[in-house]
Structure 1
Amino acid sequence: MEKLQMGRFKGYSLAHFRKDLLSGLIVGIVAIPLAMSFAIASGVKPEYGIYTTFIAGITISLFGGSKYQIGGPTGAFVPILLGIVLAYGYEDLLLAGLMAGLLLCLMGFFKLGSLIQFIPRPVTIGFTAGIAVIIFTGQIANFLGLTEIEKHENFIANMRELVMHLATINLYNVVIALICLTVILIMPRILPKIPGSLVGIIISTIVAIVFFAGQVPTIGTAYGAIPNTLPQFQLPDITWERIERLIGPAFVIAMLGGIESLLSAVVADGMTKTRHNSNKELVGQGLANIVTPLFGGIPATGAIARTATNIKSGATSPISGVVHGIFVLLVLLLFAPYASHIPLASMAPILMVVAWNMSERHHFMHILKLKSADSLVLIVTFLLTVFTSLTIAVEVGLVLALILFTKQMIDIPTIFKVLPDHSRKNEKMQPYVVNTMHDCPQISIYTMEGPLFFGAAQMFEQTILSTAEPKPNILILRMSKVPFMDTTGEAYFDNIVQEFKGTILVTGLSPRLQSAMKKSGLYDKIGKQYFFEHTGQAIDVALRYLDNTKCIGCQHFAFRECAQLTKGVVQWELPD
């Protein structure tokens, strides 16, 4: 591992460090308001978001599998963490985060990082859009300055709370929120290199202090002063009962953290034309989530927006992520007391903009307009994320996607009865050649395409056994386009071997499929001499198994040899 780590800094120079220093400072400035906002939205104190940013950020950069990944608290975690805090409390959230870190490490050690490619895009877009809705609506109360709002895990219950307390709206709060939102929206057009969220917080805070002192709730009035000291190490109370209670939440944190971090790493690869190590990235994320809770930090993962900012700012190595973490730590130690004056109304627009940007609205609408199976998966995942939980949404979304995919695979015609097309020079096997007047009564040839799995196996058997009328003497199965066969496919193949009263010849079998058939015993049951590399070889052998008396007078002329066979002038010698 040490060799691999050093490889990431090969050829590193002072010029590279200058670029990493600048990009790290820029990302650190972007990360500070987000860290506090995500922590508050997750139901914990803002300083815990700061702790997470510098501890997890440094750890992920040093031990992760992407050179450019920036880790920390993210918006995707907000509804998950808030739900855990409401159901179990902050102390249990720390233990759940630590357990999630262990799970992520195990996922990396067992090389499960590549499994990210098997999560359908409609599922990831669906739950991301659902999370964005939850985050956005969750900030309405702070934006409007509503009081006596009780937070719930259920979306409908939270919306009911907003409606019931609309009369408590604070107009001063709305003014501050609108000022911050306006600055955030116009800054990218005026000064694109300066983080709009930070400028928005500063300007709106100054306005609140000068004109609305004591009229709007602040971080200090809601959570107390932010300490400008290092977090204290504290080992959580680990009991078997707590582990059993929190294994579900820990699994959800690990899965979401793994998905988001690997998606972020893929985005970084696309921007830099590099390639990350997905399993190493999971281990790095795991280590970060093991260490961070020991110092009071909340779960962290790779942050797509901050990683993109890091790359655009000129980062060349993981050093930029380390610089970003150190900068956030220094800001905590030097300026933490001033953060207590930040109005909660200033934090709300930041999260609302984050939610809007992460909503994947363009991709969402594109998939929706397709009106396909993917559209159904998208809608179901989105609605379940909003109205139930992310766990249920992802589980149901994946199962639904699998069912619809299986149905599509079954519906695709993958078995064709074929004969050689004599009008072509290469006499390629084609299904359109077969008809009632042109079909050999003694030899049936079938081309199979696609996996012979549980969804298609029964159709495979029925097609072979039911359409082979009148019953032929020889069955040739062309299997060069069959990538694999599961145990269900194997069982139905075995049924064909037992039910077919004649000789079965198999062509084009891949080494992988041949090995599987040898292990199952099908290879020996059919017979080694009946496996061929090319269909032409199988046809040559099949012609020797014909009942020549049935060929006399036959007018089908399925093969070139039929012209002689129908006259009864050809006699074949059977192969050994």
Structure 2
Amino acid sequence: MYSSIRQDWFSNVRGDLLAGLVVALALIPEAIAFSIIAGVDPKVGLYASFSIAVIIAFTGGRPGMISAATGAMALVMVLLVKQHGLQYLLAATVLTGVLQIVAGLLKLGALMRFVSRSVITGFVNALAILIFMAQLPELTDVSWVVYAMTAAGLAIIYGFPYITRAVPSPLVTIVVLTGVAMLLKLDIRTVGDMGQLPDSLPIFLLPDVPLTLETLRIILPYAATMAVVGLLESMMTASIVDELTDTPSNKNRECVGQGVANIATGFIGGMAGCAMIGQSVINVKSGGRGRLSTLVAGIGLLVLIVFLGPWVKQIPMAALVAVMIMVSIGTFSWDSIRNLRKHPPSSSLVMMATVVITVATHDLAKGVFVGVLLSGIFFAHKVGKVLRIDRSLDAEGRLRSYSVVGQVFFASSETFINSFDFREAVQKVRIDVSHAHFWDITAVGALDKVVLKFKREGAEVEVLGLDEASTTLMDRFAIHDKPGAVEKLMH
């Protein structure tokens, strides 16, 4: 227990402190932008980012991952805010947390094993593209000074590590460009231009909504959608951070942690949130590894906006744009482009479909859903083809033996049926399935059809070698050994 706490919290103190500060600075414009998307005051997103980051540092299952207000969640809540207002959003945020805790207790985090590598790669690439696209408004119809500052920021980000890695280069970029902008009094867009920063600490309050079934009817669809989107993005981000740091995470604990964070956030006037891949990558790339980096990001954000607001307002957006461009470049899996020819066509198609759908809809859930669906279809098709049925006839020509090897389920049932010769004039048929497995009722129906067709032709049929699971399935659903089954087939 003690060694685990030490590892999670104090194994990388200096790196976590500096990385957390970088993330805190990067969270400010993001939280304000997501608040605007959702149609709420900037402080709703800022308070949410503080609350979620601090709580998830203690309750989450992935050390070093950053959770806060996100664009994916903001898009879901737009209509709720527009039709019913902020208070219903806060109530939906609390309910979102409850649903996520239930998901964690039901161990739904284990479902991540059904998400293929191709889907994760597509998800990462789509996010990298979306992160880059989100910076374009800051680079459109602006003066040459903005381009110069952004270019200078990228030069510092990629050049400073050659001088020293003691301080994260994104932090150096933000400090240097802010200093230059203030010294030269440059007329460029700053964090302060994005919205009013709060000047007080958040307070506990109950959502001001009637506690009725009608309220539940209004918020439940939004809460359920936010719970699914939030957990999906969090689980995917956790997998990516697992790979970046070569360390494991507890997905079910992360589900519960996200739920606790959202419940608490709803009670201090914040919007629902989840893990953020952009900020998580910034954290890892800046040297953050432990829970301390997430805690520092949350506390640092609150300190910056409440106590250092006048200074934070001076940060040029060009500096943060440079940081986010670095994130998009670092996030994109460039190997996936080179591997398009090497990998199987089905894997490449899944990856590209995930990217296209996610970028086109700006909805991570839809992109991942399409990717998982295609992966399942390709897998079923591939496994369905791995079915072999060998035939042999005894010396007297009376006994035909079939040996089935492989998996029989909905995708292979047609192949299974077509492998038998029902018109052959034999007295007895023996079907050996000791090297096969029947997975579903479609497979049971296929065996029923084969046995009954042979019986209809007057042959005696013997099925051998059913494993325990297949036998249980047959006992419950098969009809070939029931009285009158042949007559039913004939009619």
Q: TM-score range by the shorter chain?
A: 0.7 to 0.9
* Structure 2 equivalent of residue 227 of structure 1: 198
The C-alpha deviation readout for 1:248-279, integer Å capped at 9, x for no partner, is 65445433432333344445656777654322
Q: CA deviation at 1:341?
A: 0.9
* Structure 1 equivalent of residue 71 of structure 2: 78
The structure that has the greater radius of gyration is 1
The answer as to 2:365 corresponding to 1:394 is: no
* Structure 2 equivalent of residue 463 of structure 1: 419
* Structure 2 equivalent of residue 119 of structure 1: 115
Distance in 1, matches of 2:198 and 2:245, equals 38
Q: Percent identity?
A: 26
* Structure 2 equivalent of residue 515 of structure 1: 472
**Structure 2: which 5+ residue stretches go unaligned?**
484-491
Q: CA deviation at 1:238?
A: 4.5
Q: TM-score, normalised by structure 1?
A: 0.70
Of 15, 31, 46, the match for 1:39: 31
* Structure 2 equivalent of residue 486 of structure 1: 440
Q: CA deviation at 1:403?
A: 2.9
Is the 1:72–1:301 contact (alpha carbons within 8 Å) kept by the matching residues of 2? yes
Amino acid at match of 1:487: I
Which moved further from structure 2: 270-279 or 173-182?
270-279
Q: CA deviation at 1:374?
A: 2.2
Q: CA deviation at 1:448?
A: 2.6
The answer as to 2:448 corresponding to 1:477 is: no
Distance in 2, matches of 1:241 and 1:174, equals 52
Amino acid at match of 1:404: F
- The 1:315–1:334 alpha-carbon spacing in structure 2 relative to 1, beyond 3 Å, is same
* Structure 2 equivalent of residue 30 of structure 1: 22
Task: Name which structure has the greater RCO, CA cutoff 8 Å, separation 6+.
Answer: 2
* Structure 2 equivalent of residue 194 of structure 1: 167
Distance in 1, matches of 2:373 and 2:399, equals 42
1:10-409 equivalences under 5 Å are: 18-19=10-11, 21-44=13-36, 50-66=46-62, 68-73=63-68, 77-78=70-71, 81=74, 84-85=77-78, 88=81, 91=86, 94=90, 97-144=93-140, 146=141, 169-213=142-186, 215-224=187-196, 226-238=197-209, 250-266=223-239, 275-303=248-276, 306=280, 318=291, 321-322=294-295, 324-367=297-340, 370=343, 372-390=345-363, 391-409=365-383
RMSD of equivalent CA atoms = 3.6
Distance in 2, matches of 1:471 and 1:406, equals 35
SS of residue in 1 equivalent to 2:339: helix
The C-alpha deviation readout for 1:23-72, integer Å capped at 9, x for no partner, is 44133123112212422442547665553444222322322334x24332
Is the 2:32–2:194 contact (alpha carbons within 8 Å) kept by the matching residues of 1? no
- The 1:449–1:23 alpha-carbon spacing in structure 2 relative to 1, beyond 3 Å, is farther
Distance in 2, matches of 1:211 and 1:520, equals 80
- The 1:367–1:115 alpha-carbon spacing in structure 2 relative to 1, beyond 3 Å, is farther
* Structure 2 equivalent of residue 497 of structure 1: 451
Q: CA deviation at 1:116?
A: 0.9
**Structure 1: which 5+ residue stretches go unaligned?**
1-6, 147-168, 420-433, 527-576
SS of residue in 2 equivalent to 1:205: helix
The count of residues paired between Structure 1 and Structure 2 equals 469
Distance in 2, matches of 1:237 and 1:220, equals 30
- The 1:216–1:306 alpha-carbon spacing in structure 2 relative to 1, beyond 3 Å, is same
Q: CA deviation at 1:189?
A: 3.2
Q: TM-score, normalised by structure 2?
A: 0.81
Is the 1:310–1:320 contact (alpha carbons within 8 Å) kept by the matching residues of 2? no
Distance in 1, matches of 2:320 and 2:111, equals 36
Distance in 2, matches of 1:234 and 1:456, equals 57
Is the 1:457–1:492 contact (alpha carbons within 8 Å) kept by the matching residues of 2? yes
Amino acid at match of 1:457: S
Is the 2:190–2:317 contact (alpha carbons within 8 Å) kept by the matching residues of 1? yes
Q: CA deviation at 1:299?
A: 3.8
- The 1:324–1:131 alpha-carbon spacing in structure 2 relative to 1, beyond 3 Å, is closer
Q: CA deviation at 1:244?
A: 5.4
